[in-house]
Amino acid sequence: MDWSSMVGGSLQQALGAPAIIYCLAAIGLNVHFGYTGLLNFGQAGFMAVAGYALASLVATWGMSFWVGLVVGLALSVVLALLLGIPTLRLRADYLAIVTIAAAEIIRQTIGSVTLLRYFGGQDGLQQFVGTFQGLNPFHNSVTIGITTWRPYDFWLLVVGWTVVALCCIVVYLLMRSPWGRVLKAIREDEDAVRSLGKNVYAYKMQSLVIGGLIGALAGFMSALQNSSIVPSQFATDTTFFAYTVLLVGGAARVLGPVVGALIFWFLITFLDAFFGDATQGAHPLIPTWIMSNDQASVMRLIVMGLALMLLMIFRPQGIFGDRRELAIDAR
């Protein structure tokens, strides 16, 4: 068992693009769920819309990378409005069902054979990162401690964590403003806020749009990560992973998603590497009648599902959350 390479590989994931993607998605969900109490189960839809807007405008229609970014952000705002108008006046569970349905509609539509010539079907799109690659100031591999990064990955990492930092600052400033306090009040008691003359519907909508925009940034990162984009990147599980990230770190805490993403990706990759290693070779550590190498690959998801359940039951505030501030388990 090669512990140092397992730890190294896990660190690579925890500091690299996967963690950044889920961190951004979770920051968006934090605005929705942590601060406003909106149960958005369609974050993957926001990511898909933005990611595919960028990829298809560049790869299919030959437009500039920057136009792709702007259109991606604009479309995620449109999506937020489309989802919010029918559901924000209804109970929380309706928003959950509609958002999860919308995300599936988006994923199935962009992956369809009918629209193959625009979105590439299940094989997705490639060759749209030229501009981003051109801006890369790093020409050699970068080694930090026991991790080594290829130039493109390191450039992505620098840009990604900068975006994460900016998002955290924005969320911090927003949430300590009077506007942010209204959001938190809506989360705790909607009727009380309404009785004070606030337009709860408008506040919820603004929150949905802002969280969706941050989700769009996660979609861009997801597209840039491997310089390619496929529909399976935006499956329903993507949203659920982001929720786990948020709940591990602690909802309604500015740095919750960041810590959550680091821990989540480290553990997930480590578990995968561990079980993969333990079932490999002629004489595996875990006998094959208990676990084959194929079965090892689903272990991390089994553990994750169990962790999400237990976390929600025993420590809904996550690692850094404050149970008194956020009474998730009482709603």
Partner 1 sequence: MRVRLTAIAVLALVLLGFVLAGTATAQAATPTVGPAPRAATPARAAAAAPATADDVIHIKGKLIDTRFTPPRPVAGVKISVSQGSKLVGTATSDSKGSFSIPIGNGATVLGETFTVKIDTSTLPKGTALRDPKKVELKQRILLSSDVFITFPIGNNPNPPTSTAIQGVQLFTDGIVFSLLLAMASLGLSMIFGTTGLVNFAHGELVTFGALIAFAVDDLPGTIQIAGANITIFVGILAAIVLSALFGWFQDRVLWRPLRHHGTGVIAAMIVTIGLGIFLRNLYQYFAGADNHQYSQYATPTPWHFGQVLVTPKEVAVAAFSAVVLVAVTLALSRTRIGKATRAVADNPALAASSGINVDSVISVVWAGGAALAGLAGVLLGMTQGFDYQLGFKILLLIFAAVVLGGLGTIWGAVVGSFVIGIFINVSTLVVPAELKFTGALAVLIIVLLVRPQGLLGRAERVG
Window 281-310: residues binding partner 1 (CB under 8 A)? 292, 294-295, 297-302, 304-310
Q: Does 268 bind partner 1 (CB under 8 A)?
A: yes
Q: Which two tokens stand for residue 163?
A: 């975006």
Q: Residue from 15, 49, 230, 267 that binds partner 1 (CB under 8 A)?
A: 230
Binders of partner 1 among 48-77, rule CB under 8 A? 59-60, 62
Nearer to partner 1, 105 or 173 (CB): 105
d(CA 135, CA 131): 7
Nearer to partner 1, 173 or 192 (CB): 192
Per the DSSP assignment, residues forming a β-bridge with 229 are: 125
d(CA 177, CA 240): 29
Measured from the Cβ of residue 165, the count of other Cβ atoms closer than 10 Å reads 11
Q: Residue from 70, 78, 92, 166 that binds partner 1 (CB under 8 A)?
A: 92
Q: Does 97 bind partner 1 (CB under 8 A)?
A: yes
Query: 281, exposed or middle or buried, with CB in 10 Å at 0-12, 13-18, 19+?
Result: exposed
CB 118 within 8 A of CB 60: yes
CB of 15 to partner 1, least distance (A): 13
Spacing of C-alpha 322 from chain mean position? 23
CB of 39 to partner 1, least distance (A): 6
Helices H, strands E: what count in the chain? 14, 4
CB of 158 to partner 1, least distance (A): 20
Query: 85, exposed or middle or buried, with CB in 10 Å at 0-12, 13-18, 19+?
Result: exposed
CB of 191 to partner 1, least distance (A): 8
142: part of which helix (H) or strand (E)? strand 142-144
Site stretch for partner 1 (CB under 8 A), options 119-127, 136-144, 160-168, 278-286: 119-127
Q: Does 227 bind partner 1 (CB under 8 A)?
A: yes
Binders of partner 1 among 237-266, rule CB under 8 A? 237-238, 240-241, 243-244, 247, 265
CB of 176 to partner 1, least distance (A): 24
How many CA atoms lie within 13 Å of 217's alpha carbon, on the beta-carbon side?
25
Binders of partner 1 among 165-194, rule CB under 8 A? 190, 194
Q: Does 228 bind partner 1 (CB under 8 A)?
A: yes
